[in-house]
A and B are shown apart, each in its own frame.
Chain A
Amino acid sequence: MTASPRPAGASWRRSETRLGWALALPALGVIGLVALFPILWTFWESLHLHDLRMPWLGRPFIGAANYVEALSDGRFWNALANTAAFAGVAVTLELVGGLVLALALHRVSRAGRLVRTAVLLPWAIPTVVAALVWRFMFESPAGLATGVLERLGATPPTWFADALAAWVPLVLADVWKTTPFVALLLLAGLQTIDRSLYEAADVDGAGPWRQFLEITLPLLRPALVVAVLFRALDAFRVFDIVYVMTGGGPGTATESIALYTFSTLLRNLRFGFGSALSVIVFAVAFLCALAGIRMFGASAFQDRSA
């Protein structure tokens, strides 16, 4: 990669190594302190009974008891199922929407600066702001969504009081916020596809739909994989939107696993049990990422880091 003009003598290599580590260490030290050390601590903490509301109990070691409690905890399984369902639905919609948006932006050759800015805006604004704006539009009884549906003659649900209907604004807000990001990733993928392939297909008389299925989709696969992987990992740890829009309610109908972990830790101050939940979130996310990369992503990632 880096062709250095100097002879690769042993002493030179040693000084290069020393300098390399000296330059890299401050940043790596910070990462170690604020990320690596804490994740190990989370694991250690999860093996203890640690309740900040009951300091007199101390912090006894209880082995895997917190994990046993989690696995027999209905609220945990409910939150896990909610999160998986949310991630599945939201990421699917975002992928379809992002693909349409990317194709449109790609075709409209003069998608000007303002269009690109508009597309970036939902991605760039705070998630909390997006959630509040969508909650405002779905407020009952007189919010915009309710009003529009009534004018169309439908009977809208009381969105946030209904265990099923509450998902609609949640998913819509997430789709609105993150589809542009998916579209940008896919657009970058589209731009790498050689135009001459389409010209050849035109000559062969292949219609637009066949061209899409046989040229665009296969060649877009690396970008699609990266988009799915990042979106799925993100959707799996969804917190801001749920916290702001429903607080997990009504009851625990929309509680995500991250929200349950958060309330266990910072509302109930059960640090041992909450840490066990954190470790489970971490492990599931990690395994999903590994599986995703293994299954179809390895080549995509190699391309990107080259």
Chain B
Amino acid sequence: MRARGWALVTALLVVAILFPLYWAVIASFTPDSRLFASPSLVPRALVLDHYRALFGGRDFWTPVRNSLVVAGATTVLSVGLGGICAYALARLRFRGKAPVLAFVLAVSMFPQMSIVSPLYLLLRELRLLNTYPGLVLPYLTFAMPLTIWLLVGFFRQLPPELEEAGLMDGAGRLRTLWEIVLPLSWPGLATSAILTFLYSWNEFLFALSFTLGPERYTVPVAITLFRGQYQVPWGQILAAAVVATVPVAAIVLVAERRIVAGLTSGAVKG
């Protein structure tokens, strides 16, 4: 009886969670003339108009490509450099480790807004406004601490015996890292890569501040700045929202366990 009660609560909450997404998907296939006419749970007259307009007239491919490039580059850089740094912090014994870890944690709590002004001036000085590096560099402010923090936790859990065996055999630290640690690390690296990619794909404030024109807008910025001639083009906006959600939903479906583990293992920001 009680178990059934909890199952009912779960079902209700899941419906409440999914409903807005369902509503948006339905609306994205509904002609503009019917969008606000007698809302109904079961869709009638589904059309592809909004998606056609999105990839035809609006050229939504450009923001999708921009987002992929920026999120991809951020992920590669932060997992690469951050992974090496995390290994050193987790496994090597050297002075100054503890303060460095505290520093990384502190940086991960920085409000993004508090560094927008100097980053804007810096990127302007370097002529990097409205460029890919001009987004990737700012994105590293949250991606790098996130990766380091996650991977330090991961490397600490790896059994040290294997590395010790490698070191005993006379392989240097670097060769041990490359030949023994790296093949064991892919679950941790994958988790960090997934989280970094999601955060970068979703990021809004930096992208809004450091891009100047539609040729460099990322997906969130492009959707937000959609304008219609006479009214808000809701059909296209929601179609774009669906397009922005599909890759995220795919990643979540494939990697939900990994994501939950990553989110709850390190003290990670949401």
Listed in ascending order, the chain A residues whose CB lies under 8 Å from chain B are 1-6, 13, 16-17, 19-21, 23-28, 30-31, 33-39, 41-42, 45, 100-101, 103-105, 107-108, 111, 113, 115-130, 132-134, 136-137, 139, 142-144, 147, 176, 178, 180-181, 184-185, 187-188, 208, 226, 230-231, 233-234, 236-237, 239-240, 243-244, 258, 261-262, 265-266, 271, 274-275, 278-279, 281-282, 285-286, 289, 301, 304-305
Contacts and interface: CB of A to CB of B under 8 A. Distances in A.
- In the complex, which of the residues B209, B220, B238 has the most CB atoms of chain A within 10 Å of its own CB atom? B220
A233 B260 CA distance: 21
Interface in B30-75: 36-39
B193 interface: no
B241 interface: yes
Given A27-B84, A104-B6, A19 B220 contact: no
Nearest to A144: B39
A239 B205 contact: yes
A101 B100 CA distance: 37
Contacts of B110: 35, 39, 282
B23 interface: yes
A20 B234 CA distance: 53
Nearest to A12: B93
Interface of B: 2-3, 6-7, 9-10, 13-14, 16-18, 20-21, 23-24, 27, 36-39, 77, 81-82, 84-85, 87-89, 91-97, 100-101, 103-104, 107, 109-122, 137-138, 140-141, 144-145, 148, 153, 156, 160, 164, 167-168, 173-174, 198, 201-202, 204-205, 208-209, 219-220, 223-224, 232, 234, 237-238, 241, 244-245, 248-249, 251-253, 256-257, 259-260, 263-264, 266-267, 269-270
B109 A233 contact: yes
Given A24-B89, A124-B249, A281 B263 contact: no
Contacts of B202: 124-128
- In the complex, which of the residues A42, A127, A231, A271 has the most CB atoms of chain B within 10 Å of its own CB atom? A42
- In the complex, which of the residues A101, A123, A128, A185 has the most CB atoms of chain B within 10 Å of its own CB atom? A128
Contacts of B112: 237, 239
A239 B113 contact: yes
Contacts of B89: 20, 24
A301 B260 contact: no
Contacts of B153: 305
B95 A230 contact: no
Nearest to B18: A118
A21 B94 CA distance: 8
Contact of B219 (A20, A126, A134, A286): A126
Nearest to A120: B252
A265 B120 contact: yes
Given A27-B148, A240-B204, A285-B109, A271 B117 contact: yes
B113 A278 contact: yes
A132 B97 contact: no
Contacts of A181: 263, 270
